[in-house]
Amino acid sequence: MADRKAELERKKAQLAAMREKRKMEEKKKLASGGDAATPSPGEAGTPSDLRSETEELLKNLGIAPETSTEPAAGASGAAGGPESPRSSPKREAGVGAKKLTVSQVTQTTVVAKETVNYCKETQTMNLEPERDVLTYDESEREGEGVNAAEALAELQRMPHVQELVAAGAAADGAAPVAAEPEKPRELSDEERQQILLSESFVRFFDKTARVMERALAEDVDIFIDYSGGSGDTELGETAKQQVKQQRVFYDDRWSRNRCVTALDWSPHFPELCLAAYNANEDAPQEPDGVVCVWNVKFRKDSPEFVFHCQSPVTSACFAKFHRNLIVGGTYSGQVVLWDNRTPRRTPVQRSPLSSTAHTQPVLSVCVLGSENAHNLVSASSDGRLCTWSLDMLSQPQETLDLQRQNRPVPATCLDFAPSDANHFVVGSEDYSMYTGCRHGAKAGIMDALDGHQGPVSAVATHRATGPVDLGHIVLSASFDWTVRLWSLRDLGTVHVFEETSDYVMDLCWSPVNPALFCAADALGRLDFWQLNLDTEQAAARAQCDAAVNRCRFSDSGLLLGAGDHLGRLTVFELADSLASPRQEEWKLLGRTLHELKQATAELAAAEQDPPGVGPIR
Amino acid sequence: MDDLSEENTFSVDEVSQIIKEGVETCIGTSQFQQNKVNQWTSSIIEHCLNQLTKLGKPFKYVANCVIMQKNGAGLHTASSCYWDNQTDGSCTIKWENKTMHVIVTVFGLAI
């Protein structure tokens, strides 16, 4: 502020000085008698000059010049504003009469943004209100107090709410029922797997599944009316049919495409039978050897037990004195043992694959002896006979090589004489049968029975036990389409059955009827021969759809199981007249055999004599 | 006649060029801001008038500037004059960017 004042003073002084100077000049001019014209412009000029000067001075001081002449608009506009109109050259007004017209309208448009709006209405359907509006008027209730019965009655007036009422009433009313029963906890996948794989569960599941399957498979007609008259006509029919197909056992997974290689009926449970299967070529990842135990008693379609092993099973049997064991002989030469007490399906015991045991397919296994002293005997196709103990399959107790003329016998089948653990009959590929014995000085092959013209496929020693000992009667089946009846006493053929027209694959004596046996051939035909009835023709015939590989009578003699090459096990039921022996069966059979023997001898004699030389008797 | 000389007619092209320059200089790429609009309008008008007077023509100029925010609203303006069509003229420039419309009108009246 102080220097401002000083400045002001200075400027004032300057101003004063200038005024005085001017005055002096004026005086000079007046004195010199200047033109009147010049002072006027000069005068006119000087006031304007003076004015501009003052204005400049004032401006320097920061005092805005008189605001009345300046436009009120923005600050920056102030300086520029007055200059421009002044600097522009003044045009003299009134140049001439201008023609003024209205100009065109200039229009400017900014288009508005179009907003789309639409109107939609929805109206709820106007239904008749079915229910009264349930008002929860707390105040009312509180006054009354909660009366469960009353509340229930009130609520029940509205029928549709009833289910809710029940729940609500139950919850509110009598017993709280422990709030809410504990929600079962959801098990994780791991826990589930653990439980599923635990042994106790597996065992339980196995057993109960079996029971359930049986129960479900039964289709007993509970509505049967014994007083009705519709069932009488059936008897006549069954009388005609001697052999009837009862059931077919077939499992899609285990029997498909597998040939039945062995068949056996359980000595402990007459309804159980086992079937051993070959490998399934179409399913290489499935185990090669399968043994299924089927149950005839129940209607269910799945096997009771399934066992398998890595090599195709070529023979199998129930262990006679152990109700839980199943013995099998495999293609690789191993003898394996399964136990149905354990849930595992693989063998519990296995014989080693060594040269001390078998190295060729085991074609027969059987348990011989008595309950206290029994052995397992197995024979393989290289003529080796091994004796094992059921407890220890790590090495055979005895080994016997069957040799004939210093060459091993290429065996195909083996059978022991009933109740004789020593003597056996073996059929071989070189068209002959051999008798042999296991122990004794001459252990091995004793005699040869020739006659067949093809490899022997099955031998069967007489099974039925009765008043007459017919242990010397042996049947043999061969690929030369014949079945031969032999007598071991005189080592000769008793009779030749030439009925079949294809390879005879298997045969089996009936365990109850001494004169009955069954032969199965590759056409699927099962011939039942009743020797006392007719020796030239089969007494009954049954047909399977595929080539039958094995056939076995059950211990009762009433059922026959036939396994074919497609994996099916067909069970046939025999009529009583056929299956059961008559009173005089044994006697008749003796006579029949004698007759047959005679006939054969005559035939042989006739053949030896040149034909036409002597009379044919 | 003097009236028809170059000097004495309103040159629309020149003026429009001046206006465009003015808008671009003052606003450029700015987005609409309420607190700056004042500034922008003044500066545009100032710039325009300065440039116009620099032309040195014997004209009176009137400059008008409208800045409108783009909000979806619509706008319509129109103007008309009663003058000497030969010598006087006007020029309107519409300029816009993403957020605003700028409309500058300059009227030039021969002195």
CB spacing of B83 vs A100 below 8 angstroms: yes
Q: What angle do CA A256, A260, A263 make, to 5 degrees?
A: 135
Report the residue of chain A nearest B84, measured CA to CA: A100
Spatial separation of the C-alpha atoms in residues A554 and A549, rounded to whole Å: 16
Q: Which of A353, A347, A354, A377 is nearest to A364 (CA)?
A: A377
pLDDT at A44: 45
Residues of A in contact with B2 (CB under 8 A): 95
Query: What is the band of B62 on the pLDDT scale with cuts at 50, 70, 90?
Result: very high
**pLDDT at A149 exceeding the cut of 80:** no
| Cβ contact A550:A505 at 8 Å | yes
Query: What is the band of A255 on the pLDDT scale with cuts at 50, 70, 90?
Result: confident
Residue A48: is it exposed, middle or buried by C-beta count within 10 angstroms (0-12/13-18/19+)? exposed
Spatial separation of the C-alpha atoms in residues A357 and A399, rounded to whole Å: 8
pLDDT at A49: 64
pLDDT at A133: 66
| Other C-beta atoms lying within 10 Å of the C-beta of residue A471 | 17
Range in A322-326, A442-446, A449-453 with the lowest mean pLDDT: A442-446
pLDDT at A563: 92
Residue A298: is it exposed, middle or buried by C-beta count within 10 angstroms (0-12/13-18/19+)? middle
pLDDT at A293: 92
**pLDDT at A509 exceeding the cut of 70:** yes
Kindly report the three-state secondary structure assignment for every residue of A231-258: CCCHHHHHHHCCEEEEEEECCCCCCCCC
Size of interface A-B (CB pairs under 8 A): 82
Spatial separation of the C-alpha atoms in residues B2 and A159, rounded to whole Å: 105
Which structure tokens are listed for A526?
């099962």
CB spacing of B58 vs A88 below 8 angstroms: yes
Residues of B in contact with A103 (CB under 8 A): 80-83, 85, 88-90
Helix A2-32 to helix A39-61 angle (10° resolution) is 170
CB spacing of A80 vs B58 below 8 angstroms: no
| Highest mean pLDDT (candidates A106-120, A253-267, A489-503) | A253-267
Higher pLDDT pick, B74 / A419 = B74
Best probe of the B interface among A87, A98, A110, by most B CBs < 10 A, is A110
Calculate the average pLDDT of chain A.
Answer: 79
Report the residue of chain A nearest B107, measured CA to CA: A106
Secondary structure element (H or E) that encloses residue A7, with its range: helix A2-32
Provide mean pLDDT across the span A331-350. Answer: 89
Residue A106, phi then psi, degrees to nearest 5: -95, 125
Residues of A in contact with B73 (CB under 8 A): 110, 112-113
Query: What is the band of A113 on the pLDDT scale with cuts at 50, 70, 90?
Result: confident
Query: Over the stretch A186-243, which tens digit does the pLDDT of each residue have?
Result: 878 888 888 888 888 888 888 898 888 888 888 777 787 888 655 554 544 444 578 8
Range in A46-55, A170-179, B3-12 with the lowest mean pLDDT: A170-179
Range in A119-128, A220-229, A607-616 with the lowest mean pLDDT: A607-616
Over its C-alpha atoms, chain A yields an Rg (Å, rounded) of 62
Q: Which of A183, A186, A153, A152 is nearest to A169 (CA)?
A: A152
Secondary structure element (H or E) that encloses residue A81, with its range: helix A75-87
- Residue whose pair of structure tokens reads 């619509």 in the numeric block: B74
Spatial separation of the C-alpha atoms in residues A226 and A232, rounded to whole Å: 11
pLDDT at A291: 92
**pLDDT at A465 exceeding the cut of 90:** no
Which structure tokens are listed for B78?
């129109």
CB spacing of A103 vs B68 below 8 angstroms: no
pLDDT at A90: 44
| Cβ contact A366:A386 at 8 Å | no
Percent of chain B at pLDDT > 90 equals 28
Does residue A266 sit in helix, strand or coil? coil
Go through A70-86 and write b for each residue having 16 or more CB atoms within 10 A of its CB, e for each that does not: eeeeeeebeeebeeeee
Provide mean pLDDT across the span A286-300. Answer: 89
Q: What is the ipTM of this complex?
A: 0.75
Provide mean pLDDT across the span A142-147. Answer: 53
| Other C-beta atoms lying within 10 Å of the C-beta of residue A166 | 13
| Cβ contact A36:A89 at 8 Å | no
| Cβ contact B102:B65 at 8 Å | yes
Range in A137-151, A275-289, B18-32 with the lowest mean pLDDT: A137-151
Residues of B in contact with A79 (CB under 8 A): none
| CA pseudo-torsion sign A423, A427, A428, A430 | positive
- B92: contact with A, CB 8 A cutoff: yes
Range in A107-111, A157-161, A460-464 with the lowest mean pLDDT: A157-161
Contacts of A508 (CB under 8 A, 6+ apart): A460, A517, A518, A551, A552, A553, A560
| Cβ contact A290:A276 at 8 Å | yes
What domains can you pick out in chain B, each with its CATH number? 12-110 (3.30.1140.40)
pLDDT at A362: 92
Best probe of the A interface among B16, B53, B94, by most A CBs < 10 A, is B53
- B99: contact with A, CB 8 A cutoff: no
pLDDT at A86: 44
Chain centroid to CA A133: how far? 55
- Residue whose pair of structure tokens reads 């043994």 in the numeric block: A291
**pLDDT at A589 exceeding the cut of 70:** yes
Provide mean pLDDT across the span B56-78. Answer: 90
pLDDT at A236: 45
Provide mean pLDDT across the span A486-497. Answer: 85
Provide mean pLDDT across the span B6-34. Answer: 87
Provide mean pLDDT across the span B33-42. Answer: 89
Range in A522-531, A550-559, B1-10, B71-80 with the lowest mean pLDDT: B1-10
Spatial separation of the C-alpha atoms in residues A553 and A547, rounded to whole Å: 18
Report the residue of chain B nearest A93, measured CA to CA: B111
Contacts of A494 (CB under 8 A, 6+ apart): A473, A484, A485, A486, A487, A593, A596, A597, A600
| Cβ contact A368:A374 at 8 Å | yes
CB spacing of A102 vs B58 below 8 angstroms: no
Query: What is the band of A84 on the pLDDT scale with cuts at 50, 70, 90?
Result: very low
Range in A140-144, A204-208, A511-515 with the lowest mean pLDDT: A140-144
- B94: contact with A, CB 8 A cutoff: yes
**pLDDT at B47 exceeding the cut of 70:** yes
Residues of B in contact with A105 (CB under 8 A): 78-80
CA distance A101 to chain B (A): 5
Report which residue type is found at A381.
S
Which structure tokens are listed for A554?
């059950």
CB spacing of A77 vs B42 below 8 angstroms: yes
- Residue A409's region, left for phi above 0, alpha for psi from -120 to 50, else beta, is beta
pLDDT at A313: 92
pLDDT at A60: 66
Provide mean pLDDT across the span A115-140. Answer: 74
Higher pLDDT pick, A159 / A86 = A159
Does residue A151 sit in helix, strand or coil? helix
Over its C-alpha atoms, chain B yields an Rg (Å, rounded) of 15
Provide mean pLDDT across the span A381-405. Answer: 88
Residue A423's DSSP bridge partners are A437
Whole-angstrom CA distances from A391 to A428, A454, A484, B111 are 30, 39, 38, 138
Which structure tokens are listed for B69?
């925010």
What domains can you pick out in chain A, each with its CATH number? 402-606 (2.130.10.10)
pLDDT at A611: 56
